[in-house]
Amino acid sequence: MIPINQIIALGLIIFVIGLFGVLFRKNLMIILMAIELMLNGVNVIFAGIGYHMKSPVGSIFAIFVILMAVAEAAVGFALALSYFRQKKTYDLDEISELKG
């Protein structure tokens, strides 16, 4: 059995990598992928805690987060594609022009 400390550490490492991607990147597609990394880090922690407690609740939460991540990715990539068709760039500095 894997110690719970290592599972939480792995999940936090994945989450922090995604957080750095969100905070320090300017490309919209990279930011969307970094958000997916953050959600996957949370999934690792949920599944690990569920496994450690011998309960299916952690896996159920992880599946729910995966479903929300799929919906977020579909909407996010659709918006990014629509924006790219108009402006021909994924740079977030250009998005500020959309403010009314």
Split at pLDDT 50, 70, 90, the class of 94 is confident
Pick from 70, 76, 35, 38: nearest CA to 46: 38
Split at pLDDT 50, 70, 90, the class of 98 is low
Instruction: Output the DSSP codes for 21-62.
Output: HHHH--BHHHHHHHHHHHHHHHHHHHHHHHHHTT-THHHHHH
Mean pLDDT of 53-78: 91
Pick from 77, 79, 95: nearest CA to 87: 95
Topology of domain 27-98, per CATH? Helix Hairpins (1.10.287)
Domain positions in the chain? 27-98
Split at pLDDT 50, 70, 90, the class of 52 is very high
In sequence order, what are the residues at sequence separation of 6 or more whose Cβ sits closer than 8 angstroms to the Cβ of residue 93?
26
Stated pTM of the model:
0.84
